[in-house]
Amino acid sequence: MLKSTIVTNATKWNTNLRTLPNAHVLQTWEWGEFKRATTGWQPLRLAFQQGEDVVAMASVGVRSIGPLKVMYVPKGPALNIEDEALCEAVLNHLQGLASQQRAIWLKIDPDVIAATGVPGEADDSPNPAGQTFMDVLRKRGWRFSGDQVQFRNTIALDLTQSEDYLLAQMSGNTRRKVRTGEKKGVTIREATSDDLDTLYALYATTGQRDEFLIRPLDYYRQAWQTFMQAGLAHALIAEFDGQPIAHVILFHFGHKCWYFYGASSNEERQRMPNYALQWAAMRWAKARGYQVYDMWGAPDVFDESDSMWGVYEFKRGFRGTVTRHIGAWDYAPYPLLYQAYTQVWPRVLGWMKRGK
């Protein structure tokens, strides 16, 4: 018999979450609190027990839209997807919760692998467990979401391999660039909370250069500082002649370390600090026992038309495994409301904007 309880203790939540398959840093206590403070999503933290054992968990963000709600489980729920009975029981509970809360939709986005390799190429390999889980969702009326919040695809490196192996696997060009920084006087140090302004300044420079929008300083200060203080984030800064020229910010939990943020100045780029930082980050994660280094983001469409293509070319030189997750799926307890929200409401917003 599966029993559901609401967890209100941060230590208990993270401790149990670490033990579960597909546990992700976006399901931690800290992420729920961060989203509550910055975007208004209210976390509802559910633990599912069989006897005394916690076998599944879901941190559900809840947000009100008038008398109705929307619900989102970022990179969750965490559970063993090969246990069919468990999956059915957890989905039953989540679907019932969505109905009780009068939700327009409930979105889940578990860290479940659908396939590895580039679609259509020799290394394209479906993951049977992930494919079966998607079949279960379809049969229960879930829909692949048109609103994919997180990156669906990524590149992952196996950190259980030796450092020599990881270097040897890199493309020759990437391996040469990794070594360029040290030869050209780049040094790398660990960042602290005192470096938050420097981290943001580099990130703002990168956003302006690469033409992507960034949030205000307070948003990133809260995210980076909160996770660094909780021992769930780590930053590295590359310097030349004592001046910061690049950084990476890593989030880590369970058996994974994620490369969440990276930035560089417009100066000294010929010294290849981003390559040196990636190698330093992998070595840092490996030394602390993390098994997977997730480079957090690869194209949805694997050709040059995708906006992620340039970033992908940088990442694929490290020769990790292209990993394609099942992505976000929506459950709509009230289909007509869901249709209105996904089809009609965006048109109304567009009309309102044109009228200004």
Q: Is 60 helix (H, G, I), strand (E, B) or coil?
A: strand
Q: For residue 350, what pLDDT band results from cuts at 50, 70 and 90?
A: low
The structure's pTM equals 0.94
Q: Which residue has the tokens 């509802």?
A: 44
Q: In what order do the strands lie in the sheet with 233-240?
A: 125-126, 113-116, 321-325, 153-158, 292-294, 256-264, 243-253, 233-240, 186-190
Q: What is the mean pLDDT of residues 161-166?
A: 98
> What confidence score (pLDDT) does residue 351 get?
55
Q: For residue 347, what pLDDT band results from cuts at 50, 70 and 90?
A: low
C-alpha to C-alpha distance for 251 and 30, rounded to whole angstroms: 12
Q: What structural domains and CATH numbers belong to the chain?
A: 2-150+327-354 (3.40.630.30), 155-324 (3.40.630.30)
> What confidence score (pLDDT) does residue 352 get?
40
Beta bridge partners of 233: 251
> What confidence score (pLDDT) does residue 66 get?
85
> What confidence score (pLDDT) does residue 271 get?
97
Cis peptide before 77 (omega within 30 of 0): yes
Sequence-distant (6+) residues with CB within 8 A of 95 are: 106, 140, 331, 333
Q: For residue 353, what pLDDT band results from cuts at 50, 70 and 90?
A: very low
- Reading the block at residue 68, the tokens are 């109705």
> What confidence score (pLDDT) does residue 340 get?
85
State whether the Cα torsion 12-15-19-21 is positive or negative. Answer: positive
Q: Left, alpha or beta for 241 (phi > 0: left; psi -120 to 50: alpha)?
A: left
Percent over 70 (pLDDT), the chain: 96
Instruction: Yes or no: say if 63 and 42 are a contact pair by the CB < 8 Å rule.
Output: yes
Question: 29-39 vs 10-18: helix axis angle to the nearest 10?
Answer: 120
C-alpha to C-alpha distance for 203 and 67, rounded to whole angstroms: 38
Q: Give yes or no for residue 90 having a pLDDT over 60.
A: yes
Instruction: Yes or no: say if 46 and 231 are a contact pair by the CB < 8 Å rule.
Output: no
Q: Is 315 helix (H, G, I), strand (E, B) or coil?
A: helix
Q: Which residue has the tokens 């633990």?
A: 47
Helix and strand element counts for the chain (H, E): 12, 17
Report pLDDT digits (tens) over 230-265: 999 999 999 999 999 999 999 999 999 999 999 999
Q: What is the mean pLDDT of residues 337-356?
A: 64
